[in-house]
Structure 1
Amino acid sequence: MQTRHQVPRAAMADAENLNRLYLMKSVSVLRATYQIRLLTFRAVSEGLILVLRVPKACQFHPDLLQLKKTSGVIAREDF
């Protein structure tokens, strides 16, 4: 991706293992942020699974739940 001024933009996963991208967040509520949307796009494009590692008490915002449902590549892992 590129910005208006043609500067490349991307998001990196915290870890990658075989067919999984891992993103670790220590928050109480998680939204479908730009980073998560970019990683979801990458996961769909490359046939990967995006694993969101969050605290057990973390709630997914409705926009993230919708992205999870429509993309089919987002998984949740509690710690």
Structure 2
Amino acid sequence: MKLDERGATLLFQILTEREERASVAIASNESFAGWTKTFTEPRLCAAIVDRLTFNAAIIDTGTRSYRLAQTEAQQSTHS
């Protein structure tokens, strides 16, 4: 889902305020490089990734999404 600049700016403000108070947990099936699909303004996307990754523990499970695999399996049986 794409966020317009206003939505992305508001999310950045929320993350900035939250960073100073408590932890933030985010799960994504997209690599950071792919976040430009959601945050279409490159500088704002970079700022959000920077804010989230500063002093972060990033856990890459290296696995594919179970839901995506199920959807693909269902689509292949219906084709």
TM-score by length of 1: 0.35
Query: More strand per residue: 1 or 2?
Result: 1
Say which structure is richer in helix: 2
| TM-score normalised by structure 2 residue count | 0.35
Which structure has more RCO (C-alpha within 8 Å, separation ≥ 6)?
Answer: 2
| Larger-Rg structure | 2
